[in-house]
């Protein structure tokens, strides 16, 4: 009589062991570094040697990519549609410019200060986007960005107003590595910042925090009912994303040694949204792929039709949406192995 | 002082005519259409071309602007917008930003980047003294026309069969379908009508707001404020919001030019936080 | 007799419509309490108020004597009150494993950790696997939620709520819409819930209610219409009239 019971307990324990090791395997696989990730960074590094004459456009791509990865945290992970992400980019750019002009022109210090300033603004404004529908969030983010743009325009004594902020030049990185004429050292520096930021975003995405973010995006009511403090998570995410956008703005200032009021313009917020539309949201590398695609396309179009490239970008977006972004960005899923648990709905 | 109030009201009325199509798109179809300004711009350019190239009277241009924008709106609704009513808001935003970019570039290509000027008929230009208050004749004309439109609009909604069908479709799409209402047709007609009104607003606003290829971008936020602040459940909500915005903007630009835009954006943000469903929305959320 | 969950004069209006009308309810610790009532009686509104999805217009909600009326949902979950939904409210793109991981991590207060990857919380993974096995979900742990058979999705609903280790678990029509051949599995999971968890069952299906509940409250037009043991309710002519009236 006791034998079968014994046996079933044994099998139960075995089954449990099988389930558990399967669960561990699945969780591990979720976070493995994918081959395409390694390829991207190796490729980026290779361009330094292979395309020395293209440093300027590569720099542009790196900055836009960083900006887009930052927006992806907000949009692709937390599910907040923002039309005003340029507020943080612009504040970062101006902070870096002012810091270089009045305090020190060492870029890394400027970068950190700019990130901190943008992060503060992000934290302060995050409370405004916690409630409400997509429309109110859209309006609030847009309104904040417009107010920032107006502030920069009005405070001409500080920002140079419509003429922009100039009169500073950037010192060598850590006082050691100068920005060279071809932009090579600069590009390596930008690449390092982009790499580190993406790394941080990646850790974040695969952490328990990241797990709760996508749950919030998918179903905020249910997320709260498994114990996720939705508001707190959104505040943190928005702040982190703002810091990264501030970094991107600072990098632009460091490239050009000039801050134009254009850094806060609406089209910057729109462009970065379009970058994610092209690259896909919710898996981090959409910002990088999108930035490459968008910049190359814009570059090619503005050679063909310098005044009217905007028309073709617009047409591309309309087609992209009509055909279905999800369908067009599905190739991402097939990049070698996928990013399970990170592919997301674009809802 | 009273002149500012008067100008503000004219401006606000104009904003309402421009934005009320957007109220419909957002309230009825739950579609975030950032390209609404493109329809207004179309109306403006139609007027410019008819008046400046063909010398057609301003009064004939207004209905023509309405028609042209309505047709454009109807065609785009039937071919493009209709497919995206159930898309995500992100998709709608990207799609309509794409349309804005196309319209801006197209206007630049066809008409050039400069500000467009129109010569108003003599009886509409200049000012009239009225009880010691200087009143722009064209602004008076604007107020009268817009007021007539608002009343008509309200009557159509409240009294006609089309109005009741529209309201049924807003309340519950599925029930309306079940009642045999051709909801897609109602949507299409309404969309065309809203675009037409925007076109008319664009034509009338060429003088007050200015007209250049960046029009859809420049005024996008204003239209959105009208809708977001006014809510989408009534006609009076957006109307009051538009008047408020018009007066506040004109007064702000006149009295405190340095911080005018802050006042408006700041008020909007505070409003949206306090009443996310709109200032004049019925009932609580 | 201590009430683990209590409401006092709970009221909720939607405009002129009163969805919840002066509901005062006491749920005993360890009870199997059913909340029944005809369609539109306000059962789901009541559950929404209890769990913080909707604020009440007036009145109080108490958990173990502590007022929780104005606490947000996630704090109530931390305090041991959780629920399932009548219509699946799951994370469509998550696998059951990921969803359950999320709930356990939040319960343990690890949800705000930003750095270590989810898989490195080995104890949590073990617990998640055990929980999934217990709810018959081990075989589908790696499938996307929206591709699971409906019965499995209902099980995941319960598993997800159970992962928070609730003291009080509200089940909103757990077997609604489940095809007949998958129904048995859901019902046996419900009846096997541990005795120390107080279960409130919101249900339409009278067979399920009478086989499960030891106490029943009947909700009609937003108000408590009758309350008693299962036998008392089954014998009540008034309750019968309400149900017959509905089906007539």
For the beta carbon of residue A304, count every other beta carbon within 10 angstroms. 9
Phi then psi for residue C204, to 5 deg, are -100, -35
**Which residue carries 């019902």 as its tokens?**
C187
Chain A residues with beta carbon closer than 8 angstroms to that of C82: 225-226
Sign of CA dihedral A172, A173, A179, A180: positive
Q: What is the mean pLDDT of residues C4-30?
A: 90
Phi then psi for residue B118, to 5 deg, are -125, 150
Tens-place pLDDT, residues C199-245: 999 988 788 888 888 899 999 888 888 888 888 888 888 888 877 65
**Do residues C141 and A23 touch, judged by C-beta distance below 8 A?**
yes
Please, is B193 exposed, middle or buried when counting C-beta atoms within 10 Å of its C-beta (0-12, 13-18, 19+)? buried
E-assigned strand segments in C84-137 = none
Tens-place pLDDT, residues A247-277: 999 999 999 899 999 999 988 999 999 899 8
Check A143 against B106: CB less than 8 A apart: no
| Start-to-end Cα distance in chain C | 39
Full residue range of the structural domain in which residue C111 is found:
3-247
The pLDDT of residue A328: 60
DSSP-derived 3-state class of residue A335: coil
Check B97 against A314: CB less than 8 A apart: yes
- The CA distance from B258 to the nearest CA of chain A, in Å, is 7
Comparing CB atoms, the residue among A15, A226, A343 nearest residue C160 is A226
- Annotate B13-34 with b (16+ C-beta within 10 A) or e (fewer): bbbbbbbbbbbbbbbbbbbbbb
Q: A341 pLDDT band (50/70/90 cuts)?
A: very low
pLDDT of chain B, 285 residues: tens digit per residue: 777 888 888 889 899 988 888 887 887 777 889 999 999 999 999 999 888 888 888 888 889 999 999 999 999 998 998 888 888 888 999 999 999 999 999 998 888 888 888 878 877 777 776 666 667 788 888 888 888 888 888 888 778 888 887 777 777 777 777 777 777 888 888 889 889 999 999 998 888 888 888 888 888 888 888 888 887 777 778 888 888 888 888 888 787 777 777 777 887 888 777 776 666 654 433
- Orientation of helix B260-274 relative to helix A134-154, angle to 10°: 160
Q: Indicate whether B33 belongs to any domain.
A: yes
Cα(C213)–Cα(C191) distance, rounded to whole angstroms? 10
Confidence check: pLDDT of A329 > 80: no
**Do residues B17 and B201 touch, judged by C-beta distance below 8 A?**
yes
**What residues of A are in the B interface, CB distance below 8 Å?**
75, 81, 83, 128, 131-136, 138-140, 142-144, 146-147, 150-151, 154, 266-267, 270, 273-274, 277, 281, 307-311, 313-318, 320-322, 325, 346-347
- Orientation of helix A55-72 relative to helix A184-206, angle to 10°: 20
Per the structure, the count of domains in chain C is: 1
- The CA distance from A306 to the nearest CA of chain C, in Å, is 43
ipTM over 0.95: no
Tens-place pLDDT, residues A27-74: 888 888 888 889 999 999 999 889 888 888 999 999 999 999 999 999
Say which residue, C5 or A3, is predicted with more confidence.
Answer: C5
Say which residue, A123 or B58, is predicted with more confidence.
Answer: A123
Confidence check: pLDDT of C171 > 90: yes
Q: C186 pLDDT band (50/70/90 cuts)?
A: confident
The pLDDT of residue B285: 33
**Do residues B198 and B36 touch, judged by C-beta distance below 8 A?**
yes
Please, is A294 exposed, middle or buried when counting C-beta atoms within 10 Å of its C-beta (0-12, 13-18, 19+)? buried
Per the structure, the count of domains in chain B is: 1
Q: What is the CATH number of the domain that holds C106?
A: 3.40.50.300
Comparing CB atoms, the residue among A136, A138, A150 nearest residue B261 is A150
Say which residue, B43 or C38, is predicted with more confidence.
Answer: B43
Confidence check: pLDDT of A228 > 80: yes
């Amino acid at each position: 009589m006791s034998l079968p019971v014994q046996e079933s307990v044994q099998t139960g324990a075995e089954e449990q062991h099988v389930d558990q090791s399967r669960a561990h395997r699945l969780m591990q696989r979720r976070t493995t570094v994918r081959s395409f990730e390694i390829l991207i960074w190796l490729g980026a590094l290779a361009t330094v040697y292979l395309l020395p004459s293209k440093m300027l456009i590569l720099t542009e791509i790196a900055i836009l990519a960083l900006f887009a990865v930052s927006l992806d945290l907000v949009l692709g992970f937390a599910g907040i549609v923002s039309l005003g992400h340029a507020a943080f980019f612009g504040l970062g750019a101006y902070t870096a410019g002012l810091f270089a002009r009045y305090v020190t022109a060492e870029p890394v210090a400027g970068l950190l200060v700019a990130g901190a300033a943008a992060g503060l603004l992000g934290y302060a404004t995050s409370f405004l986007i916690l409630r409400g529908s997509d429309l109110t969030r859209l309006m609030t983010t847009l309104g904040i960005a417009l107010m920032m743009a107006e502030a920069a325009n009005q405070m001409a004594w500080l920002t140079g107003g419509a003429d922009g902020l100039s009169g500073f030049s950037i010192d060598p990185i850590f006082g050691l590595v100068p920005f060279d004429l071809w932009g090579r050292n600069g590009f390596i520096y930008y690449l390092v910042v982009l790499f580190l930021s993406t790394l941080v975003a990646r850790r974040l995405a695969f952490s328990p925090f990241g797990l709760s973010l996508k749950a919030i995006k998918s179903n905020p009511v249910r997320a709260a009912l498994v114990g996720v403090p939705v508001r707190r998570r959104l505040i943190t995410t928005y702040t982190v994303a703002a810091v990264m956008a501030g970094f991107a703005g600072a990098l632009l200032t460091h490239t050009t040694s000039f801050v134009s009021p254009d850094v806060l313009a609406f089209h910057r917020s729109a462009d970065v949204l379009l970058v994610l539309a092209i690259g896909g949201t919710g898996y981090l590398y959409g910002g990088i792929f999108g930035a490459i695609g968008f910049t190359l396309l814009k570059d090619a179009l503005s050679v063909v039709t310098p005044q009217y490239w905007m028309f073709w970008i617009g047409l591309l977006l309309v087609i992209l949406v009509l055909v279905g972004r999800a369908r067009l960005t599905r190739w991402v899923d097939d990049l070698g192995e996928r990013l399970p648990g990170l592919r997301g709905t674009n809802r | 002082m009273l002149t500012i109030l008067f100008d503000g009201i004219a401006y606000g009325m104009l904003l309402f005519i421009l934005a009320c199509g957007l109220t419909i798109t957002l309230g009825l179809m739950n579609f975030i259409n950032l390209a609404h300004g493109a329809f207004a711009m179309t109306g403006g350019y139609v007027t410019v071309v008819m008046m400046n190239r063909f010398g057609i009277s301003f009064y004939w241009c207004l209905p023509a602007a309405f028609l042209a924008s309505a047709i454009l709106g109807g065609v785009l609704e039937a071919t493009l917008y209709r497919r995206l009513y159930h898309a995500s808001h992100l998709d709608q935003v990207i799609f309509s930003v794409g349309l804005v970019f196309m319209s801006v570039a197209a206007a630049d290509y066809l008409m050039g980047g400069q500000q467009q000027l129109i010569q108003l008929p003599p009886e509409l230009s200049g000012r009239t003294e009225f009880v010691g208050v200087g009143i722009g004749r064209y602004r008076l004309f604007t107020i009268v026309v817009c007021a007539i439109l608002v009343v008509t609009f309200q009557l159509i909604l409240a009294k006609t069969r089309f109005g009741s069908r529209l309201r049924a479709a807003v309340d519950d799409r599925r029930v309306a379908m079940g009642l045999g209402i051709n909801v897609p047709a109602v949507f299409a007609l309404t969309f065309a009508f809203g675009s037409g009104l925007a076109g008319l607003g664009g034509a009338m606003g060429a003088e007050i707001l200015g007209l250049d290829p960046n029009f859809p971008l420049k005024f996008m936020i204003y239209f959105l404020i009208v809708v977001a602040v006014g809510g989408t459940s009534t006609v009076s909500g957006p109307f009051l919001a538009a008047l408020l915005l018009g007066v506040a903007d004109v007064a702000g630009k006149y009295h405190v030019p340095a911080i005018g835009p802050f006042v408006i954006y700041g008020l909007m943000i505070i409003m949206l936080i306090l009443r996310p469903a709109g200032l004049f929305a019925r009932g609580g959320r | 007799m201590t009430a683990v969950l209590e409401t006092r004069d709970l009221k909720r209006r939607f405009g002129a419509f009163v969805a919840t009308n002066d509901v005062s309810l006491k749920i005993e610790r360890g009870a199997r309490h059913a909340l029944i009532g005809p369609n539109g009686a306000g059962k789901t509104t009541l559950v929404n108020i209890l769990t913080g999805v909707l604020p009440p217009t007036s009145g109080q909600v108490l958990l173990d004597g502590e007022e929780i009326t104005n606490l947000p949902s996630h704090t109530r979950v931390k305090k041991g009150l959780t629920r399932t939904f009548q219509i699946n409210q799951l994370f469509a793109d998550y696998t059951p494993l990921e969803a359950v991981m999320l709930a356990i991590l939040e319960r343990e207060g690890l949800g705000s950790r930003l750095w270590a990857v989810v898989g490195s919380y080995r104890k949590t993974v073990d617990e998640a696997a055990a929980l999934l096995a217990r709810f018959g979900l081990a075989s589908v742990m790696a499938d996307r939620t929206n591709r699971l058979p409906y019965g499995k999705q209902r099980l995941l609903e319960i598993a997800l709520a159970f992962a928070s280790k609730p003291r009080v678990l509200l089940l909103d029509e757990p077997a609604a819409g489940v095809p007949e051949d998958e129904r048995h599995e859901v019902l046996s999971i419900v009846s096997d819930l541990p005795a120390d968890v107080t279960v409130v069952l919101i249900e339409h299906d009278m067979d399920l209610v009478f086989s499960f509940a030891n106490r029943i409250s009947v909700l009609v037009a937003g108000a408590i219409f009758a309350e008693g043991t299962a036998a008392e309710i089954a014998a009540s002519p008034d309750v019968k009239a309400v149900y017959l009236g509905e089906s007539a």
